[in-house]
Structure 1
């Protein structure tokens, strides 16, 4: 008798912390195009968040909304914060017991594999040195 194991796809929740639906759709399309069949992603964004997060005031609005989404959607195998900031990372790691990464942290980790020095190009200079990843 042959035994077949049914594998449940790994589930990743990706949060776009701004309210820009076009960006959210693009993130979903990108995730769908690169993930293998054993992994599925859902991309969400808070509707009341700023359309773009470019200032500390924007961050103060967006962060609690992103945390609310994470709180409401527990049970995923991993989480990604899709933004150029560490919005909700520290707080979410305290209550989610699975990997939580942000796109900057992942990008910097990859860059450091190849070079000890690298450059970040952004239009929001104030966000670069505030990122918690530079505290390490």
Structure 2
């Protein structure tokens, strides 16, 4: 049996620190004899995907990168706004998995109601639109952003933002969330310590997406 091509995890922004964090987050899934897991950065994109214009422009770049990698057995969009998701699915028969979809589905398997920590208040309406598309609004306890704006780079640094993420997580617990999804790929390094502090499951949506992709690729191999 041939080893399938790599799973390509695309960071649609240009922040290489985020890509490095993604690579560390997916390290446990790099299995001997399994597909490689590669994390790629789009250098032409902004440092963060914040506005709708950012989403639209980075979506085209994400699709271009995926098209340039026909060797990849699956594509993961490692941005919670999932830029280019529908476009990629229209252009390839390979599995294309967005981290928001995967993270929410993982949380639904862990608790009756879930919450989401967004990196910025302005992103929440866009995220809610996708949750409505998924048909899961009745199980959403809430989505909140930290009480002060944090950068994508700060989101992965416990010294810079852990207290802010913890406060947001506690607000979601008060709203009835039994599991929490990290709504930014940059938050990956804080999943474990946040889960310990909150005492409920915390889902790294990128890890959830890789789990989905790995299962699909191995079954189809």
Normalising by structure 2, report the TM-score: 0.54
Unaligned 5+ runs, structure 2:
135-221
Unaligned 5+ runs, structure 1:
1-5
Match of 1:66 in 2: 62
* Separation of aligned partners in 2, 1:48 and 1:34: 28
Structure with the higher fraction of residues in helix conformation:
2
The C-alpha deviation readout for 1:11-68, integer Å capped at 9, x for no partner, is: 2001000000111122122223332221211111111100011111222321111111
Counterparts of 1:45-124 in structure 2, within 5 Å, are 45-124=41-120
User: 2:59, 2:85 within 8 Å by CA — same for their partners in 1?
Assistant: no
Match of 1:134 in 2: 132
The CA RMSD measured in Å over matched residues stands at: 1.8
Normalising by structure 1, report the TM-score: 0.84
* Separation of aligned partners in 1, 2:7 and 2:131: 22
**Measured at CA, do residues 92 and 114 of structure 1 come closer, stay the same or move farther in structure 2, by a change above 3 Å?**
same
Matched residue of 1:119: which SS?
Answer: strand
The C-alpha deviation readout for 1:105-129, integer Å capped at 9, x for no partner, is: 1110011113342111113234334
User: 2:8, 2:72 within 8 Å by CA — same for their partners in 1?
Assistant: yes
Matched residue of 1:50: which SS?
Answer: coil
The C-alpha deviation readout for 1:53-95, integer Å capped at 9, x for no partner, is: 1111222321111111011112321111111112111110112
Matched positions, count: 131
Aligned: 1:23 with 2:18: yes
